[in-house]
Amino acid sequence: MFIAFLVTVFLSIASVLIHYEALLRIASLMNRISIRPRGRILVAVIGVLVAHVAEVWLFVGGYYFLTWLGNCGKLVGNFSGDLLDYSYYSFSTYTSLGFGDITPEGPMRFLTGMEALTGLVLIAWTASFMFLEMQRFWKKRDMR
């Protein structure tokens, strides 16, 4: 259980740091590039999507590692153990969809819950960031 806890804490902190750095660099890039406001917003959207995908893949690695250890739980249900199943599970957990066709057992449940909470917070952070950037760069007169 302690290893699952440590992995969970590490992955959650790493995800927040990745997101922070991504938003910081995206904001800096948007200030420097000289393209239309619509293009700036498009660059920001692509940037945050890349950040979210990187964060999900961190958790994929965590699930794979905990499964590999053997005593930290497992994923059961419609799960064959290939990388696509791990990524599907992580994406549905991160976005808080949680379809239920794959479920965690054992200490891995803690990682699942924390990934859902982390994803919720980071998606909300992205929404706030995009709202502020759109207010700043996407004025009605600049919509050309």
Please report, in tens digits, the pLDDT of each residue of the chain (144 residues total).
899 999 999 999 999 999 999 999 999 998 888 888 788 889 999 999 999 999 999 999 999 999 999 899 999 999 999 999 999 999 999 998 888 899 999 999 999 999 999 999 999 999 999 999 888 876 655 555
At the topology level of CATH, where does 1-9+58-139 sit? Helix Hairpins (1.10.287)
91 close to 56: Cβ distance less than 8 angstroms: yes
64 Cβ partners below 8 Å, 6+ apart?
Answer: 83, 86
Model-level pTM? Answer: 0.90
Q: Where are the chain's structural domains?
A: 1-9+58-139
Q: What is residue 97's predicted lDDT score, i.e. its pLDDT?
A: 85
91 vs 50: CA distance, rounded Å: 13
Give CA–CA dist 143/115, Å, rounded.
37
Q: What 8-state DSSP symbol labels residue 58?
A: H
